[in-house]
Amino acid sequence: MMARGALFSALIALFLLNACAVAKSASGSRVLVLLDKLDDRADYSAFFSSLSERGFDVYFKEASDVSAKLVDFGERLYDHAILFSQKSSGVLSATKLVEFVKLEGNVLAAVGRNPPDNVRDFAYEFNVGVDETDTAVIDHFNFNSTEGAQSSHTTILANAFAPSAAVYSQSTLSGGAVLYDGVALKFGKNPLLLKLLVGSATTYTWGARESSDVTEQPYVSGSELILAGAAQTRSNARVTFVGSQKLFSDRHICNDTSLNQTTSRFKLHVLENIIVVDSKSGNAAFAADISKWTFQERGVLKISAVQHHKEDESFQRDSYRVKDHIVYQLDISEYRDGKWRPFVAPDVQVEAVMIDPYIRATLQPSSSAKPSSATATTYVTKFQLPDQYGVFTFKVDYRRPGYSWIFTKETLPVQQFRHNDYERFLVVASPYYAAALSTATASFLFMIAVMYSS
């Protein structure tokens, strides 16, 4: 009896311990970090400890380690991967990284001036181009002056964040600029790509070693120059590319308690008038936000409780009739900061499709309808089915940048009126009834008269 009690309390303790360790991610807590040498993790200690604080189980592996596997026998061994290694690894080829993403693993890949081939190829799978080796992003107008005014201006200050509430918190958007020292990225035509941080009008990319003038069109420049960008696959796996792994380093992440003040602060030069902006870099907030977004801690949407019924009924039918008045409703919740919350948007639409969309109705967040739980917003709309019978699909396909794609559909038949569905004995038709009956009666009397009059 005692033993059973002890076992029980131990189980409870284990459960509580487990609950505490659960990450705030909607998809999982296992993170694999790939580094050139295990010792390198000290350079990024602030970033990695913030991940541990958020409840992730962080595993470190050297990129050349043969046991560094993301997928084994078709199963993901980790939920997320961070690629910080700067040497090409034959162990984790682009193909293997793609396989991991296909299994809905999330990847945060950061490169430097010497991008490894596997990450370069991996980026190219998403139509993200990485500039050549030994080039750097340069901005002679927004640079970190603590590096020295005569420097090559390769540590730039970037604050052109994508205005996405799904990715960035308000404090990041209004906070300090990001210290960026790395290579330029360029997006191809891929509708699944999302710009997270882009260059300013004066940002360009050029050879870092040469001090020579720019003699031809740079690979990419201005706001087309991507500093950080992401791809969200159709299965909602997120892959984020950052052109500067130094962005995550302790040296660039502001950490008031443990870091040297001179390196964690920056000065902003604007032309010859030196405006000294002595403030913290936004690297910590930026790194936190994009890792939260990449690892499915925010901007994750979920549809639940999809329901439809006729306006004067409350139960869902397997089929409807043409011109029926339908009430369609569903719940949408957003995962943010460890909790499912109600998600309110004015632009969620439902479609009734039979090859073409016959109906496209905007769903209104409803205050009167009771959501399935306090963690969701109920959206309701009413529409009348068209005077067209056939197999219709009711679908909601909501794709907004930064948020996970949500999709639900249901196929059901819409039938025509049966012969006994029509209304009978209409008041409006009473003259016809009277006429038909009087004609019939008159005919009957006439028949009798004609028969017996001869």
Partner 1 sequence: MASTRSNSSTSSQSALSASLSSHLLQALETYRSRTPARLKFVDAYLAFLVLTGVLQFVYVLLVGNYPFNSFLAGFGGAVGSFVLAASLRIQISGNNPEFKDVSPERAIAEFIFAQIVLHFFVINYLG
Task: Report the alpha-carbon distance of residue 136 to residue 158 in Å, rounded.
Answer: 14
Q: What is the bridge-based pairing of β-strands 106-110 and 57-62?
A: unpaired
DSSP-based three-state secondary structure for 40: helix
C-alpha triplet 148, 161, 49: angle, nearest 5°: 75
Q: Give the shortest CB-432-to-partner 1 separation in angstroms.
A: 3
CB of 402 to partner 1, least distance (A): 52
DSSP assignments along 298-355, one per residue: SSEEEEEEEEEEETT--S--S-EETT-EEEEEEEEEEEETTEEEE---S--EEEEEES
Q: What is the rounded distance in angstroms from the CA atom of residue 132 to the CA atom of residue 343?
A: 42
Q: Which is nearer to partner 1, 374 or 426 (CB)?
A: 426
- Please state, in angstroms and rounded to a whole number, the distance separating the CA atoms of residues 299 and 322: 38
Residue (217 or 453) nearer to partner 1, CB = 453
Q: How far is the CB of 421 from partner 1 (least distance, A)?
A: 13
Q: Residue 405 in contact with residue 399, Cβ under 8 Å?
A: yes
Q: Considering beta carbons, is residue 114 or 439 the nearer one to partner 1?
A: 439
DSSP annotation of 90 reads S
Which of 67, 454 has the CB closer to partner 1?
454
User: Tokens 């061994």 label which residue?
Assistant: 77
Stretch that binds partner 1, among 37-45, 124-132, 133-141, 443-451 (CB under 8 A): 443-451
Rounded Cα distance between 114 and 121, Å, is: 13
Helix (H, G, I), strand (E, B) or coil at 27: coil
User: Shortest gap between Cβ of 417 and partner 1 (angstroms)?
Assistant: 13
Between the alpha carbon of residue 291 and those of residues 131, 155, 326, 364, the distances in Å are 23, 22, 42, 32
CB 247 within 8 A of CB 180: yes
Least distance CB 434 / partner 1 (angstroms): 8
Residues 402-441 that bind partner 1 (CB under 8 A): 424-426, 428-429, 431-433, 435-436, 438-440
* Least distance CB 429 / partner 1 (angstroms): 4
Pick 2 or 449: Cβ nearer partner 1: 449
Binding mask 277-306 for partner 1 (x = CB under 8 A): ------------------------------
Sequence-distant (≥ 6) Cβ neighbours of residue 376 within 8 angstroms: 304, 305, 331, 332, 333, 340, 342, 343
Contacting residue, 124, 407, 417, 446, with partner 1 by CB under 8 A? 446
* Residue 342 near residue 309, CB atoms below 8 Å: no
**Beta carbon nearer to partner 1, 21 or 426:** 426
The residue range among 56-64, 133-141, 273-281, 442-450 that interacts with partner 1, by the rule CB under 8 A, is 442-450
Minimum separation from the CB atom of position 416 to partner 1 (A): 16
Contact 138, 180 (CB under 8 A): no
- Closest to partner 1 by CB, 6 vs 442, is 442
Task: Please tell me whether residue 447 binds partner 1 under the rule CB under 8 A.
Answer: yes
Closest approach of Cβ 437 to partner 1, in Å?
Answer: 9
Comparing CB distances to partner 1, the nearer of 262 and 453 is 453
Stretch that binds partner 1, among 56-64, 171-179, 289-297, 445-453 (CB under 8 A): 445-453
Q: Helix, strand or coil for residue 218?
A: coil
Q: Minimal distance in Å, beta carbon 330 to partner 1? A: 37
Contact positions toward partner 1, by CB under 8 A?
A: 424-426, 428-429, 431-433, 435-436, 438-440, 442-443, 446-447, 449-451, 453-454
